Amino acid sequence: MAMHWRAPRGPKLSCKGWQQEGILRLLLNTLDSEVAYRPEEFLVYGSGKAVRDRRSLEEIVRALLDLEDHETLVIQSGRGVAVFPTHPLAPRVIMSTGMLVPRWATWEEFRTLERKGLTIYGQNTAAAWAYVGTQGPLQGTYETFAAVARQHFGGSLAGRWVLTAGLGALGAAQPLAVTMNGGVLLGVEVDGRTLQHLLRKNILDMVAPDLDTALAAVRQAVAERRPLAVGLEGNAGDVYPELVRRGAIPDVVTDLTAAHDPLDGYVPAGLTLDQAARLRERDPEDYVKRSLRTIAVQVQAMLDMARHGAVAFDYGNNLREQAAREGVRDALRIPGFVQAYLRPLLAQGRGPFRWVALSGDPEDIYKIDQWLLEGSAAQDPIASRWLRFARDHLWFQGLPARVCWLDYESRVQFGRLVNEAVAAGRLQAPIAITRDLLDVGAMASPRRETEGMPDGSDPIADWPVLNALLNASGGATLVCLGHGGSVGIGYSIHAGMTVIADGTPAMGERLERILAADAGLGLLRLDRAGYPGAAAPVRRYGIRPVGEDGP
């Protein structure tokens, strides 16, 4: 039986304060059918869950409704633990998700514990209750393809075609990101229902009935230098090598399937979705073996394409690592997208900053868009270009939200601007300020965010732990630590935070502390690692580093 959740709207409180109310609304919004992948299973995207089960959800909701302004709710892997007396400046919610002692941090051990009902896999923003739908990863995806265009094609993807696979929750950002950069996309997706959904949403321009039709449409659009997004139902393990056999080599090849989880996130070649579901239930060990074999075939095809001139990169789903474990030589020579394309932005203090209108009224978001365009974003071509596009072309899923990669100084200014607007009644209700977990100061992910650090500190995991501690000390409304991210168990530790701008003077002070510390730690992480470009923003923004050396 389907279950439906929807966040309350408007200025009326359900909880005893806006800090609690904001978190409640974000939790329910994460499970809204407009936002979540399979809300009836508490799956938000990929294999990431928001809570452990229905009972856990109901208990957490009741706790938030009763939570006082001097109390903190503790969440362990999607299930409430207890409410403790703290103080008004402490977080209202702290959580840790999927954390395992390193010796036991394997998928096999995790699944054993998960089957016992002891933990969940929370992805990045699912268990942190900060997911806002396709817009969440869209700007980062757009900026990635823009960087690909700058580095390899003179600044535009016009007349170029991009091959990718996986158009689910996160992957759905790829068609728009490619066409926004002027290119042509061929997206392979195993689930035909996903393709039809994206077609109805105008994210795809067409769904091809077969590979011949898809290639004909791609080639015509490339010849005309016309943006186009084509979806094709199929398995990447079949389609990628077939393209190599035909000599149909894309200009760019990547992948955004949930390959980090070969059991629940990837479908082996040769199986329908129904057959895959039955095998997953009947013989999970065999299923994983088949998935890994398919991943190996897909990555080998990507390497073959690269040898024929394609620009190949890993999109942070641990595809390369899985293939390398299966014996694919040179799999790890495919670069990761953060190291190759996004780190210059991160070194400016930029990151996947986002805010949510708790009123439920899109006008609150549009007002903030305009204030930014007239203020801090006016001299920022990256932010202003994105905000104009987002305002004119993007849709909202669940509570209206906006994602924008603001730099360090703009984030601090943003908190002040929004809190004052709430206090003055220019916005209908408080604003939840949060982010994705791509910020390098909040991540330790050697196959993604922290890959290729100049000093070799890729696996140092102190930084996300420090991020969580610092945000809790500063008074964020929600602080979380997680394990696995988008790359899988054993490959990532990450931290998240949310703060509710409720218009009070006390929150104004907290916002300045929190946003400065959250972004500043990322700059320091890159500076300490010796990344070129990070030292100048550290000095410019007046961050006070201690010492000169060390990871």
Q: Which residues are catalytic?
A: 404
Task: Please tell me the total number of residues recorded for the chain in this structure.
Answer: 551
CB 195 within 8 A of CB 204: yes
C-alpha 395 chain-centroid distance: 18
Decide if 338 contacts 451 (C-beta within 8 A).
yes
Q: How far is CA 107 from CA 31, 86, 252, 331, 548, in A?
A: 25, 35, 31, 21, 38
Return the SS3 of 266.
Answer: coil
- The gap between the terminal CA atoms of the chain, to the nearest Å, is 51
By DSSP bridging, strand 93-97 and strand 478-483 are parallel
- 275 touches 235 (CB < 8 A): no
* CB contact set of 263 (below 8 Å; sequence gap of 6+): 107, 111, 280, 284, 287, 288, 291
8 Å CB contact between 380 and 413: no
Cα–Cα dist 170/391, whole Å: 20
DSSP assigned state of 257: S
- Distance (Å, rounded) from C-alpha 420 to C-alpha 353? 19
DSSP letter, residue 314: B
Q: Which pair of tokens denotes residue 185?
A: 């996309």
